[in-house]
Every structure is written in C-alpha cells, then in structure tokens.
Structure 1
Amino acid sequence: MLTFHNVCSVPSSFQLTGIPGLESLHIWLSIPFGSMYLVAVVGNITILAVVRVERSLHQPMYFFLCMLAVIDLVLSTSTMPKLLGIFWFGAGDIGLDACLTQMFLIHCFATVESGIFLAMAFDRYVAICDPLRHTTVLTHTMVGRLGLAALLRGILYIGPLPMMIRLQLPLYKARVIMHSYCEHMAVVTLACGDSRINNVYGLSIGFLVLILDSMAIATSYVMIFRAVMGLATPEARLKTLGTCGSHICAILIFYVPIAVSSLIHRFGHQVPPPIHTLLANFYLLIPPILNPIVYAVRTKQIRERLLQILKIQTKIRLQLSFFTMVGPNGNESSATYFVLIGLPGLEEAQFWLAFPLCSLYLIAVLGNLTIIYIVRTEHSLHEPMYIFLCMLSGLDILISTSSMPKMMAIFWFNSTTIQFDACLLQMFAIHSLSGMESTVLLAMAFDRYVAICHPLRHATVLTLPRVAKIGMAAVVRGAALMAPLPVFIKQLPFCRSNILSHSYCLHQDVMKLACADIHVNVIYGLIVIISAIGLDSVLISLSYLLILKTVLGLTREAQTKAFGTCVSHVCAVFIFYVPFIGLSMVHRFGKRQDSLLPIIMANTYLLVPPVLNPIVYGVKTKEIRQRILHLFHVTPLTSDR
C-alpha cells in the first residue's frame, strides 16, 4: 500500500522505478541493456562449454574461471530480467519476499565472486612462487573445497541482511525504491525504525569482503612480483607475468565498479539519481560481459578452441598466403579471400589497443543515437539544420559499424580473413557512406548560407519535403558514384599476396594487389574524389565566403551570433575532410610500405568523425545541450550558443 507524510506501514510489496529521471528513455535503454545481458549469458555459457570439452583446460585456473562464469550468470540473471520487465512493461512491482531474495542473491554472489578472485590469486601465487608444489597443493579436490568455502562465506556473510530487515525493520515510510533492483541500502533508507545495526553490519561486510580480499590479492601479487623479478631473462619475466594478465583485468573489472558504487551510496549525495542507478547496474552487468572476453582473448587454449568451433582456419591464412586459383593458362587467378592486418609491429599491444577503440566505437554509437533521439523528441529542433544533423549521425553510425566489429575481431581473436565478396561489400559501404556524408555536409553549408544571407526565404526554400529530397539525393549520389568501384575490382585477376595493408577493405588498397592494368581503377578513383570530395569542399568554401561577406556587413553582436550558428558545422567539416584528404595523399604519394601512418590515419578517418560530431554539436548547440542536461535533471548555466 502507498503511504503519505510520516505514516509508517507494513508493505506487502515494493515498487522499483528503473532508472529514476529517465523513465521516458526506458524503451531505448532496454536495447543496450538487453544486448549486454545476451552477450553476458552467451559469453559465460561458451566459457563453461569450452572448458568442459577441452581436456587441456582441466586445470585449477580454468575451474575457478568456470565458477566465475556461473557466478556472473547468477548475478546478471538476478537483476536483468526484472529490469527489462520494468523497461518494456512498466512491471516495477516486486513482493517483499522476492525483493529480499533478490537482495540476498546480489550481495551473496558478489561476495562469492570476491572469494573466487582471492582463490585465483592464490593459484597464481603457488604456480609462480612454488611451481613444483602446484599440482600437489591445488588438486581437483582442493579446488572444489575452495569454491565451496567461497560459497559458504557468501551465505554466512549476507544471510543476516534479509533476516535483519524482515525481523527488525517491519515498518516503512514509503514503498517506492528509487532503484532498478533491491539493493540493501536502498531498502534500509525507506525503513521507519532504527537502521544503525544494518548500516554497521553492511559496512563491516564491505570491509571484510572488499578491503581484506583486495589486500590479500595485492599481497599475493607483491610476492609474485618479487619472484618474477628474480628470473634470469626479461623474456621469462614477461611470459610469467602474462599468465596473470587476465586475472588482473578481471579483478579491476570487478572491484573498481563495486567500490565506486559503494562510495556513491555512502557519500555521493550530490550525484544525480540517474548516474547513481546506471553505475549500480553497470557494476552487475559489466563484469559478466567483459570476463569471458578477457579470458577468451588472453587464453590461447580457449581462443583456439573458439576459433575451431567457428571453423576459422587461422594458422597459415593469417600469415603468408596466396589466395590464387590458377586458371587454365597457368598465370591468372581470382581472389577467394583477403587477409586484413591490425597494426604491424604492435601485434602484442593489439589486445590492449582494442579496448580504447571499442570504447570510442560505443561512444560514437551512443552519442549519435542520442542526437537522433533528441532531435526526434524535441519539436523545436524540427528544422533543416537539425534534420541534416540526424542524417549525419545515421551515416556516422553506419560508417563506424561497417569497420569496427571486424577490427575488434582482428585485435581480440586474430580473425583476419575476409571473403572476397564481403570485402567488396565493406569497400562499397565505406566509400559510398563517405560520399553521402560529404553531400550532407554540403547541404548543411547551403542551409547556413540561406539562413544567413537570405533569412526571409529560408523557411520557403528549405521546407521539410525539400530537405528529405536533398537527403535522398545524397544517398543516390553516394551509391551511384561508388557502385562501379567493386565492379571494376571484380574484373581484375589477382596473383600476388592477398595481405591488405589495413584493418578494413579500401579501394586503393585492394586494387594494388591485382596483377593486371589498374589504370581504369586509378583514373575512376581520382574522378570520384574530384567530383565528390573535391567539388563538395570547393562549394562549401564558396558558401562560407558568401556567408563571411554578408556577416561582415552586420553589427558586432549580430556578427557573433551569426558566426556562432556556423561553428559546429565548420568543426564537422574539418573533422571529416582533413583525415580523408590526408589518407588519400598518403595512399597516392606515400612510399614506405612498412609505415604505420597510413593505417593509423585510416582508422582515424573512420572513427574520429563519428565520435567527435555528437560532442561538437552537443556542446556548441544550445538546444541540444539543454535537452541533454534536462534528461539527466541537471540545471544548465545560462550561456549563449
């Protein structure tokens, strides 16, 4: 039942709010949360299956990893189905006993997971500091007992929490929990009685689990480090420390979010509720997602078994190969697949470089989706400039998605092969979408020209149907200009190495591998660059010259305001054209084949604009900035755009 003022009652159920303050976004938030939950479940079940069927993995470290996978499945499943029910159906009601059960499962298995991490640290300590005794100390029986001890410790530590709430705090001043799941402190704060015992006991458990376990793990790694430093060669040191890399990553993934969430609960009174709740959900969802990825990528046996399951032949094809099928004349061939490379010379660092790249990709996708959502829901933004911005965001998502998933597969799983037709499709997508983006930037320049030089005609010239036609023209133009490229490549015979010099398929990169005359490809590529990028940049420059001429005739205040409406577009133009032109120049005139510069510039050209465009427009556009702050219930400071 609902309560009012200071009236206390015995509730039969509580009401979970989901993400407080972001109720209007629940249906959209369900997409990334549902996707992450699915990835977590599939990833951890895959780890369990691989360790079970691969006899070489029947070792203590991998048994502990299986325990970790089971715990992650329990933690994510104890919250995510209910959270998705809230997002999709508004099903926030949860019975008192169900709430206490959920609370017990979350805190108990988080404690068990900490115990497993401690056991894994002990395993690494024995394996490195006392390797001759490793098999006798950590027998299968001992591993089972350590896992059981971690489970019993979690039950004993957390068991009193729901009992104390049930017996000592029967009355509550409200039944609405401003959270997406039943967290101990979120429930206790609603109680009418004295909750000091609950607070003290909660802090004690936090100390016993977080502090003592982390100190014990840190101590084990200090001793491991001392032992490693005593090894004879740097190679032996690196190899030994490499066996600890996955465990260290998993520890940081687990302890950092839980520590941040706990500190915010205790001391973060100024943190907005949406941020607080999102962090609490990430603490339960991020470790189950990342742990399988970290161990699959860093553990050779698991990685090879996964590749075998996926029927990816990697050993010879990933290094030196000729993809030729010799024809009747003995000297012509046709391609069946290509080999993409990551970062030559940085192969050992690719696993770690993938994390910032993946983070940038997620930022790009979320940032551009946010721009599209805000423009769609804010009626004051239904103007040509913002509709063009939505087109730009959609293109940025497609451009980054056409290359980044494959790039992550290269960096994490060494999955470098790509079928010939898939390569041509990726090439067409990248080049055609880039042409479309250039056209949209030109349309935005035209919009600024009309708005500043002919403001009275702006509403009649750039009507919504005309804006839609311009967008359609951009799509048709990009597709028509780039469609001949894969057709020309399809006609070429290939008899050289099939190893491309990038992490994705570019026209100028693929055509260099052909063993025939490629003058047609070169000439058409130059024509496309001149007629698309070259012409568009000239027209954009011309539009801004006309804008500059008009603005200089205005008063100083009017000049500042007029220029302010163009700043975001000018930044977007530079963000797009500078990497594109730089990459084209390097490809046309660069001589060093082993240089990292073309590869870094190619990745920059596809990733930086999708990341920066939403940031530029979000910061520089007052309406979008205020709408974003409004979503998070932050009061913006008054400022001009």
Structure 2
Amino acid sequence: MSAIPTSTINSSRFVLTGFPGLEVEYLWLSIPFSSIYAMIFLGNCMVLHVIQTESSLHQPMFYFLAMLAFTDLCMGLSTIYTVLGILWGFIQDISLDSCIAQSYFIHGLSFVESSVLLSMAFDRYIAICNPLHYSSILTSDKIMKIGVTVLCRSSLLIPPVIIHLKFLNYCRPHVLSHSFCLHQDLIRMACSDIRFNSIYGLALVISNLLLDAVLILISYIMILHSVLAIASREERIKSLQTCVSHICAVLVFYIPIIGLTMVHRFGRHLSPLVHVLMGNIYILFPPLMNPIIYSIKTQQIRKRIQRLFYVKGVVSLLSVVECSVLSDCLTTMSIFNGTHYPPPFFLPSGIPGLEESHIWISIPLSMMYMFAILGNSIITHMIHKNPSLHEPQYVFLSMLAATDTGLPASTLPTVLNVFLLNHREIEFHGCPAQMFFIHTLSSLESAILLVVAFDLFMAICNPLCYTVVLTHSRITQMGLAAVARGVVLMAPLPILLKWPPFCKNIILSHSFCFHPDVMKPACGSIRVNIIYGLTLVLCSFGVDSVFIALSYALILKTVLAIVSGEGQLKALNTCVSHIFTVLIFYVPLITLPLMHRIGRLY
C-alpha cells in the first residue's frame, strides 16, 4: 500500500455522492434544495440587517445572535457549490485540495457555532442569575474579545488535523458519502496510518463540542436553580421564556451532529441514502431553522421584521375591517327588509393568535406543499417511465400519487395567499369551485384506496386469477369509474350553495373552502345541503371504508389459513403500506367533520 506514489494519489479526484438511486430525478430535487439555500441566505441576511439597522438591538444578546447568523450564512456558502453542482449536473467530483479546504470550513464553522451557542448561554446566565452586573460584565469590548477568542479557537485548533489529510495515501475507492467533504469521510479512504487524525479529531470533539455542551448544560442548571428561587410564577415563566429560543437553537445544532456521528461510527451497514440524509440535515437544518426560531420567539426582531411588511399588513387590516363592516350591513338589511344578498367574497382564516408570525409560518408550509407536489410527481413520473412498474399495484399507486398532487394544488393558492401574502379574500364564485375540487379529489382518493384493497385481496386470496381479472383495460375502467363517481356526486354541492341567502359573518374557519364551513354563514334553510352532504359521505367514504374493512377481513382469513409463519408474515407485509395510507387518509377525514359538528359546543 505504501508503495503507491503520494503525488499520484493526492492529485486524484474524489467522487461526490448525491442521492443514490435518484440520479434521474436530480433536476427535480434541485428545486427544494435551491429553495432551502435561498431561505438560509435570505433569513440570516435579514437577521443581520435588522440587528445592524435597529439601534435598540445593539445589545449583547443580539450581537451574539448576529455572530450566529453570520456563521450560518458562511456554512451555507461553504457547501452550496458542491450540493447544487451535483443536482444541476455541472460537477461530479472534487480535487483533494478543494475537498480539504471545504472540510476545514465546515468543521471550523461548526466549532464556531458551538462556541457562539456557549457564549449565548453565558449571556442568558448573567442576565438571569446576575442581572445587576449584566451591563458591566458584557461590555462591547468584552463581547468583541469573546468573538475573537471563538474565531481563534477554531482557526488554530483545526488546521493540524486538516493539513495532515494532505499527506495521507488514498488507495481505497475515492467515493465520498456526501455531496460535500467531511474529515471522517476522507480518512476512511486512506490506507496510511490515521491514528493522528483519529486521536486528534476525537480530542477536538471533546475539547470543543463536548466541553461546550457540558458548559451549556451547567449554565442552564444554574439558571433553573435561580428561576425556581423566584417567588412569582409569572416572573419565573418570563425568565424561562427568554431562554426558549436559545434552547431550540442548541437542540437544532447538537442533535444532527450526534446523529451524523453515530451514523459514521456504527452505521456502516446502513443504506447510503441514510448517510446522505443525515449529512444534509447536519449542514442545512441549523442555518435554516435558527433565523425562523429567533424571528418568531424574539419579540424585538419580530416587531422589526413586521415593519418591513407594514404596508402589506395595513392593506390586510383594511380588507378585514371592510369585510366585517360589509357583513354587518348585510345582516342589518336582512333584518329590516327581509332581503338577502350573496357575499361578494369569503374571508379565509390563518392560525388565530399567530397572525404576526404568518410570514414565517409560510416557510414550512411552502416546503410541505413543495415536497407534496414534487414527491408525488416523481412517483408518477418514475412509474410512467419504467416499463417494469407497469403492473396493477403500481398503476394504482400512480393514480394515488396523481390525486395527492392535485389535492394540495387545489388549496395552494388560498393557503399561501393567507400566510405568505396576507391577502384574505376568496370571491364568492371561487369558493364553491375550490370546494368542488377538494371534495372530488378526496372522494377519488377514497375510491383508489378501495381499488388498492381489491388489488391486495386478489393477490393474496385469489392469486391464480390475478392477471386475468386485473387487466389493463379493467384498470382503466376502474380509474374512469372512480373519477366519474367523484365528479357526478360532488357537482351538485357548489350548485346548492347558490340558493341559500348569506347574511351572517363570512369569515371561514380555514384557509380554504370546506363545505361544512361554507354553509355556516347561510341564514336560510340549509336542510337540503345537510341531507345531500350526509348522503355523499355515506355513499362514497362510508361505502368505501366498509368494503376496505371487508376486504381485509377476507385477507386476514386467508392469511391465517397459511401453515408457514414466514408465508403469513410475507403476505401481511404486502398490506402494511396500504393500511398506513388508509389510516392517514380516514383519521383526518373523520376528525374534521366531527370538529365541525361537535366542536361548536367548546
């Protein structure tokens, strides 16, 4: 091994790993990752801008927060080239020198962030346990010295172990576990003596990350001791609330580090995808979440950010006031002259009590919508392009994925309008249209779940006739029947909403239009709507759930008749994913109508 020329080895390149098995979908995966990086840069830059421009935030805790935001910004910059480069297809490997440089910045910034979190814990300790000396201890000069010490500690301690990587012989396959370079990943490919790297690396972790974590824990034990000594319960809660953001930031930082370390140490037999996911969580999760945590939980920053969107907030407030006044006017006119007017628009609701944080709540909501639409689109695309997946169970899965793509797409405009743009209006004619698509797609999903249950019943209870019964033409007929049933049964719903007069409050309970919710503002007789709605539920969801339960009763009977225990487990394993899907669909479907029916009492 040692006979291999060092110059040859060290001039070689290392292959970066994206997402194993999903290479065809890299272009699609680049969309959420690009969005995550954009949010990292935007969120941390906004925090830095707010702290710099707002003189009232020139205090020790916000200086430390600015250090944290700058560190998170640099962490994003250190990996963006290789991560997005792989997904966009313009790089596949990296030179040794570039790899060593990237690992230096990644590990150095991790140690800096750990030190900054320790400094913030010290700030909270002084503020709560020794408040009279807070301003005399944490002066501007002292904060600057702390910042320089943090930077020097990481800059001086890490270079020896990183530089030593240059002198190792790499004779094992040059394939990294991630789309960026980590020290522990590089030394696995070396066949030289790596005792120095292992021992020094462990010493670094103990003297930096572990020591910081222990000191943070001690500081919070002392804080808790001081808080419990406060007589007033309100003062205790107020003191602890100042620590919530920091505790969240500590957990967001240390949990991925511990998880990634455990995977590298003990997860050699795990799927490469697990290593990739843990690595990306370690790199991207803290920089993404820290601005959100501090913007939501820190009142001063939240108020300053709200000023940036002040004009938008005023417009939203005026629309709410106009809507309320108009609703009162319509009610008054209906009382005096007996006439009723359809409302010009409905007013969807966000999360009551958190209106100020809607702009931040829109970030995880946008990501959820993106993953829902992207994930289901990828499944549909893969099944369509791969001939080996053109089998009944996968065709039904593609139908389910297509339905799950349409359902979030039908609510996306109104939900993001409420949370992201603060625009809270849905035209009267637009609301029934959205309601039609939501309920039709829900009915379609219920029908597809029934068809999948039938597929499993045939595969387990009557396998010899499986290919004869579930032909391509039969599957097409089932799909068309499911669509036709949903459209025909749900079409009268929006039409029936044209008849009852609306003279009550037109504020909805959700950020989208839902039939039981839209009926509430009506002040005329809605008996027909209620009866037809109940009939729909019984004819579609009720019948489907009964037949699904019946199919599983027959499947269970057949499985229990199998002599072999392994055969029984194998048969039941094919049903697990469908059972979970049924529960995920029907439990919320049952809960929401119950809340609308019974929740009025609470």
Instruction: Name the TM-score class by shorter chain.
Output: 0.7 to 0.9
Aligned mates of 2:283, 2:562 — CA distance in 1: 56
237-246 vs 127-136, which moves further: 127-136
Deviation at 1:550, TM superposition (A): 11
Please say if residues 496 and 513 of structure 1, whose CA atoms lie closer than 8 Å, have aligned partners that are also in contact.
Answer: yes
Deviation at 1:6, TM superposition (A): 6.1
Please say if residues 12 and 96 of structure 2, whose CA atoms lie closer than 8 Å, have aligned partners that are also in contact.
Answer: yes
Aligned: 1:511 with 2:548: no
Aligned mates of 1:120, 1:573 — CA distance in 2: 46
Aligned: 1:107 with 2:107: yes
Aligned mates of 2:494, 2:530 — CA distance in 1: 13
Aligned mates of 1:49, 1:490 — CA distance in 2: 50
> What are the equivalent positions in structure 2 for 1:212-227 lying under 5 Å apart?
212-227=211-226
Aligned mates of 2:532, 2:306 — CA distance in 1: 39
Report SS of the residue matched to 1:79: helix
Aligned mates of 1:542, 1:83 — CA distance in 2: 49
> What are the equivalent positions in structure 2 for 1:25-424 lying under 5 Å apart?
27=26, 29-89=29-89, 91-166=91-166, 169=167, 171-174=169-172, 176-179=174-177, 180-310=179-309, 311-312=312-313, 322=324, 324-325=326-327, 326=329, 330-331=333-334, 334=343, 336-338=345-347, 340=349, 342=351, 375=383, 379-396=387-404, 398-399=406-407, 418-421=424-427
Deviation at 1:84, TM superposition (A): 2.3
Instruction: Give ranges in structure 1 of 5+ residues lacking alignment.
Output: 596-641
Please say if residues 338 and 417 of structure 1, whose CA atoms lie closer than 8 Å, have aligned partners that are also in contact.
Answer: no
**Residues 572 and 222 from structure 1, CA distance in 2 versus in 1: closer, same or farther, beyond 3 angstroms?**
closer
Aligned mates of 2:321, 2:300 — CA distance in 1: 19
Aligned mates of 2:365, 2:402 — CA distance in 1: 20
Per-residue CA shift, 1:555-595, capped at 9, x if unaligned?
A: 8789969888667656655664465356545644x3x5254
Please say if residues 37 and 80 of structure 1, whose CA atoms lie closer than 8 Å, have aligned partners that are also in contact.
Answer: yes
**Residues 536 and 511 from structure 1, CA distance in 2 versus in 1: closer, same or farther, beyond 3 angstroms?**
same
Deviation at 1:377, TM superposition (A): 7.2
Amino acid at match of 1:391: M
TM-score by length of 2: 0.79
Please say if residues 250 and 291 of structure 1, whose CA atoms lie closer than 8 Å, have aligned partners that are also in contact.
Answer: yes
Aligned mates of 1:140, 1:270 — CA distance in 2: 51
> What are the equivalent positions in structure 2 for 1:582-601 lying under 5 Å apart?
583-584=592-593, 587-588=596-597, 590=598, 593-595=600-602
Deviation at 1:362, TM superposition (A): 9.9
Amino acid at match of 1:247: H
Deviation at 1:221, TM superposition (A): 1.5
323-332 vs 400-409, which moves further: 400-409
Deviation at 1:328, TM superposition (A): 11
| C-alpha RMSD of matched pairs (Å) | 4.7
Please say if residues 339 and 418 of structure 1, whose CA atoms lie closer than 8 Å, have aligned partners that are also in contact.
Answer: yes
**Residues 414 and 368 from structure 1, CA distance in 2 versus in 1: closer, same or farther, beyond 3 angstroms?**
closer
Deviation at 1:304, TM superposition (A): 3.9
Aligned mates of 2:200, 2:549 — CA distance in 1: 67
Deviation at 1:176, TM superposition (A): 0.9
Report SS of the residue matched to 1:94: strand
260-269 vs 40-49, which moves further: 260-269
Deviation at 1:75, TM superposition (A): 1.0
Please say if residues 178 and 186 of structure 1, whose CA atoms lie closer than 8 Å, have aligned partners that are also in contact.
Answer: yes
Amino acid at match of 1:419: E
Name the counterpart of 2:541: 533
Please say if residues 174 and 190 of structure 1, whose CA atoms lie closer than 8 Å, have aligned partners that are also in contact.
Answer: yes
Aligned mates of 2:533, 2:274 — CA distance in 1: 48
Deviation at 1:283, TM superposition (A): 0.7
Deviation at 1:252, TM superposition (A): 0.9
Aligned mates of 1:549, 1:139 — CA distance in 2: 71
Aligned mates of 1:386, 1:151 — CA distance in 2: 54
Per-residue CA shift, 1:185-219, capped at 9, x if unaligned?
A: 32234344433222222222211211221122222
Deviation at 1:237, TM superposition (A): 0.8
Deviation at 1:532, TM superposition (A): 2.6
Deviation at 1:44, TM superposition (A): 2.0
Aligned mates of 2:242, 2:322 — CA distance in 1: 29
Deviation at 1:82, TM superposition (A): 0.6
Please say if residues 457 and 555 of structure 2, whose CA atoms lie closer than 8 Å, have aligned partners that are also in contact.
Answer: no
Report SS of the residue matched to 1:18: coil
Name the counterpart of 2:452: 444
Amino acid at match of 2:600: Q
Amino acid at match of 1:16: V
Count of residue pairs brought into register by the alignment: 582
Deviation at 1:508, TM superposition (A): 0.7
Aligned mates of 1:517, 1:556 — CA distance in 2: 60
**Residues 222 and 394 from structure 1, CA distance in 2 versus in 1: closer, same or farther, beyond 3 angstroms?**
same
Per-residue CA shift, 1:101-127, capped at 9, x if unaligned?
A: 212111111111112111211221222
**Residues 306 and 20 from structure 1, CA distance in 2 versus in 1: closer, same or farther, beyond 3 angstroms?**
closer
Amino acid at match of 1:228: V
Amino acid at match of 2:73: L
**Residues 144 and 383 from structure 1, CA distance in 2 versus in 1: closer, same or farther, beyond 3 angstroms?**
same
Amino acid at match of 1:45: C
**Residues 104 and 122 from structure 1, CA distance in 2 versus in 1: closer, same or farther, beyond 3 angstroms?**
same
Per-residue CA shift, 1:136-171, capped at 9, x if unaligned?
A: 4334444344323322222112233333333xx154
Name the counterpart of 1:521: 529
Aligned mates of 1:216, 1:568 — CA distance in 2: 45
Per-residue CA shift, 1:32-65, capped at 9, x if unaligned?
A: 4333323322322232333344444333322322
Amino acid at match of 1:178: L
Aligned mates of 1:246, 1:17 — CA distance in 2: 35
Amino acid at match of 2:104: F
TM-score by length of 1: 0.75
More helix by share: 2
Deviation at 1:418, TM superposition (A): 4.1
Amino acid at match of 1:194: D
